[in-house]
Amino acid sequence: MITSAININDEMKQRVVKVFKSKFGYPSEVIVKAPGRINLIGEHTDYNEGFVLPAAIDYANYFALAKSSGPQIRLYSADFEQLYEFDKNKIEQTEDKWINLLLGVINELASYIGHFDVVLSGNIPQGAGLSSSAALCCGLGYGLSELFNLKLDKWTIAKIAQKSEHEFGGVECGIMDQFASVFGITNHVLELNCRTLEHTAHEFDISGYKLLLIDSGVTHALETSMYNVRRQECHSAIEKLKNLSVAVNSYQDVSINLIEEQQSNLSDEEFRRAKHVVSENIRVKEIVSLLRNRDFESAGQCLLAGHKSLKEDFEITCEETDFLVDELVQYEEVLGARQVGGGFGGCVLAITKDRNLDVVVGEMKKKYRRQFHLSLRLIPIRISSGCMVV
Ligand code: GLA
């Protein structure tokens, strides 16, 4: 298993190095990788100053970079076979999301860097909610820091990447994805307090059990627009709660009791969004202690409660992911499951026993195809390290 991950790493690295040489006619200087992430639990809590529990995974974007004396900066995507050249002092958004996200990072660093060329390629499944965008921005930030010896610390890179998503990607995302991509540690899940940015790495020993990541294959167009709407709803709920109670400065000061007491002062949406955030924060803490005790049965129940909350209170699941969760938990091998990521599709993450999984996945594929005429994809994952020079 370990050998195959190393091979993939090496293959991806060789690919960007080779493409760089053939595209630009001279060798690259720095090669970096920036991984995607999963999130065990703590969904839509990051921009609400709550808790999250993500981990970097062994799917990543790879970058080969070198300083250049050319008149422009050149970005080349080996996957899209697309080249974009531009003047450092004239950064304008384009039609392409991948270019815009990179431009956002360059825009932040423009006064500290010279011209450069970069080739990138990645194997993070697209549209699966595994944060390929964060990996794109973090990887370039990390790579430029190495190339121009900027000595940016990890938080600076994560925040530059987040700003690019806000200003060049149109998504008012929180900091979880960038944090996981930059800070990831092999075989550890990372607990982050998004209010204080304090974080703790917890060793993740799942031997005897498994994390199963299943791509529903659906990405609903709603994702970006509804993400920003949910953020707004959570904001208006907490602003009201702050006005109603002097003890409240952020969601971390809110209890379920308090929301229930104040229900009549909140709109129905505000009440349910706030309830999700507060209960999800509790679930992060709960799962951390369950994992410490290797109580995977209860951790599974926690995932299931998380999904119910995403469905009923936060209203960001969809027919397909609800179906997957409902059907998966019919199997005695599956201890719990939930939709992960921004919402309205993407992947479902399950905690399972480490047996009969071929049968479970085989049957699930058939059921899913029968129901939605769609293919299910199993994405084998391992928890890996964050951004690094490779
Ligand atoms: C997306 C965002 C994150 C986070 C999750 C939901 O992945 O980029 O900041 O809000 O959705 O938990």
Structure tokens at 113: 């860097």
State the amino acid at position 270 in one-letter form.
E
Predicted pLDDT at 220: 67
Structure tokens at 302: 């926690």
Of 117, 177, 215, 313, which one is the catalytic site residue?
A: 177
CATH number at 134 reads: 3.30.230.10
Asked if 199 and 216 sit in the same domain, the reply is no
Q: Which residue has the tokens 């697209």?
A: 126
246 in a domain, yes or no?
A: yes
What domain count does the chain have?
A: 2
- C-alpha 378 to ligand 1 mean position (Å): 22
Asked if 305 and 215 sit in the same domain, the reply is yes
Q: Which residue has the tokens 């294959």?
A: 217
Asked if 200 and 77 sit in the same domain, the reply is yes
Is there an atom of ligand 1 within 6 Å of 306 CB? Answer: no
Residue of 166, 173, 273 with the most ligand 1 atoms within 8 Å of its CB, for mutation? 173
d(C-alpha 31, C-alpha 34), whole Å: 10
Predicted pLDDT at 3: 44
Is there an atom of ligand 1 within 6 Å of 54 CB? Answer: no
Asked if 97 and 217 sit in the same domain, the reply is no
State the amino acid at position 283 in one-letter form.
R
C-beta separation of 273 from 230 below 8 A: yes
Is there an atom of ligand 1 within 6 Å of 173 CB? Answer: yes
Torsion, CA 262, CA 263, CA 268, CA 270, rounded to 10: 30
Is there an atom of ligand 1 within 6 Å of 174 CB? Answer: yes
- C-alpha 341 to ligand 1 mean position (Å): 6
Asked if 259 and 373 sit in the same domain, the reply is yes
Please state the atom number of ligand 1 nearest to the C-alpha of residue 52. Answer: 12
C-beta separation of 28 from 8 below 8 A: no
State the amino acid at position 308 in one-letter form.
K
C-beta separation of 54 from 176 below 8 A: yes
pTM: 0.95
Asked if 175 and 257 sit in the same domain, the reply is no
Q: What is the mean pLDDT of the chain?
A: 95
Mark whether 10 is an active-site residue.
Answer: no
Over residues 278-288, the mean pLDDT reads 98
- Take atom 10 of ligand 1 and give the residue whose Cα is closest: 44
Asked if 283 and 177 sit in the same domain, the reply is no
Radius of gyration of the chain (CA): 21
- C-alpha 343 to ligand 1 mean position (Å): 9
Predicted pLDDT at 208: 94
Is there an atom of ligand 1 within 6 Å of 47 CB? Answer: yes
pLDDT digits (tens, 9 = 90+) for 205-228: 999 999 999 999 998 665 677 889
Asked if 187 and 220 sit in the same domain, the reply is no
d(C-alpha 211, C-alpha 381), whole Å: 8
3-class SS of residue 388: strand
Distances (CA, A) of 34 to 46, 161, 378: 20, 12, 22
CATH number at 276 reads: 3.30.70.890
pLDDT confidence bin for 1, thresholds 50/70/90:
very low
pLDDT digits (tens, 9 = 90+) for 177-205: 999 999 999 999 999 999 999 999 999 99
pLDDT digits (tens, 9 = 90+) for 104-144: 999 999 999 999 999 999 999 888 889 999 999 999 999 99
Domain that holds residue 128: 9-204+385-389
Over residues 150-171, the mean pLDDT reads 96
Is there an atom of ligand 1 within 6 Å of 177 CB? Answer: yes
